[in-house]
Amino acid sequence: MKSKFKAGDLVTLSAAGHKTNQNEECRGGFGFIETIDEDEMKQGNKHNAWPIKTKWWTKDLKVMNINFKPYELKFYKKNI
């Protein structure tokens, strides 16, 4: 399975990502994709596969390195 994302894309949490309790600190934040592990993408939705590595800024601008599954993210859109 190939990802719709590529390294350098600006992303935020999708609706599914918001519902996940483990992403509580990420809500209201944004990030950019550093790498995508294609080997983990091929494994499908196994419980232990988080193939998308991001640099993430929380709503209070704390910076973290966080891994995600593709369904947890969406492209960031600027609200004008």
pLDDT higher for 1 or 31? 31
Distance CA 13, CA 8 (A): 16
Beta-carbon count within 10 A of 18 CB: 14
pLDDT higher for 20 or 3? 20
Closest CA to 33 of 16, 50, 46, 19: 50
Q: What is the mean pLDDT of residues 32-46?
A: 75
